[in-house]
Amino acid sequence: MTDMTETALHWGDVIRIATSANPAPPRRVEKSEAEWRAQLDPDQFHVTRLKGTEAPFSNPMCSVFEPGHYACVCCGTELFDSSAKFESGTGWPSFGAPVADNVVAYHIDGSHGMQRVETVCNVCDAHLGHVFPDGPTPSGLRYCINALALEKIADA
């Protein structure tokens, strides 16, 4: 992983990207709904393909802090490094930054009577969660990610 102080986005960057244009993804993975349903379990499908949210504190991944990486459960794209993970107390895995600026896409989300910024895998459009401006330095961001959208990959 690169040094977060050099590559981390800040809240103003996130809003600018979400309201203008996301970066080009490193590659694209596109499948039919039937293919996604065959690949994912029903809970993963609900979260990643239907923009669902798992219950807070429902997944043990929240308390996993061993070295490794977190990849998209749908396409395997590496999204987050464990060095950027922190305990937010929210009940979902939280990260300060993705591993690269082009692996996560941002969309303004006006659902549920509030304005938030949705995060999706930029490779396969899987719903990951949301990003908020209340995280730790250096980015000040909190990527609040559904554990069901992630696959933990141990360091080799």
CATH number of residue 123's parent domain: 2.170.150.20
Which of 131, 132, 125, 129 shows the shortest CA–CA distance to 148? 129
- Look at the chain and count its residues: 156
Domain count of the fold of the chain: 1
Residue 92 has pLDDT above 80, yes or no: yes
Catalytic residue among 72, 74, 121, 144: 144
What is the rounded distance in angstroms from the CA atom of residue 89 to the CA atom of residue 56?
A: 10
Mean pLDDT computed over 51-74: 94
Which of 56, 81, 62 shows the shortest CA–CA distance to 71? 81
Looking at every residue in the chain, the average pLDDT score rounds to 92
Token reading at 74: 């749908």
Given pLDDT bands bounded at 50, 70 and 90, which one contains residue 10? very high
Which of 8, 1, 16 shows the shortest CA–CA distance to 137? 8
Tell me the three state secondary structure of residue 89: coil
In percent, the amount of the chain with pLDDT more than 70 equals 94
Residue 16 has pLDDT above 70, yes or no: yes
Residue 100 has pLDDT above 60, yes or no: yes
Residue 3 has pLDDT above 70, yes or no: no
Token reading at 56: 């807070």
Tell the residue number behind the tokens 């923009």, with chain if given: 51
Domain that holds residue 104: 4-154
What is the rounded distance in angstroms from the CA atom of residue 95 to the CA atom of residue 93?
A: 7
- Please give the pLDDT value at position 155: 72
Mean pLDDT computed over 82-105: 96
Annotation says 72 is catalytic: no
What pTM did the predictor assign? 0.91
Which of 133, 125, 123 shows the shortest CA–CA distance to 26? 123
In contact, 114 and 9? CB cutoff 8 Å: no
Which of 49, 102, 99, 47 shows the shortest CA–CA distance to 78? 99
Given pLDDT bands bounded at 50, 70 and 90, which one contains residue 154? confident
- Please give the pLDDT value at position 11: 95
Q: For residue range 23-60, what is the model confidence (pLDDT) as tens digits? A: 999 999 999 999 999 999 999 999 999 999 999 999 99
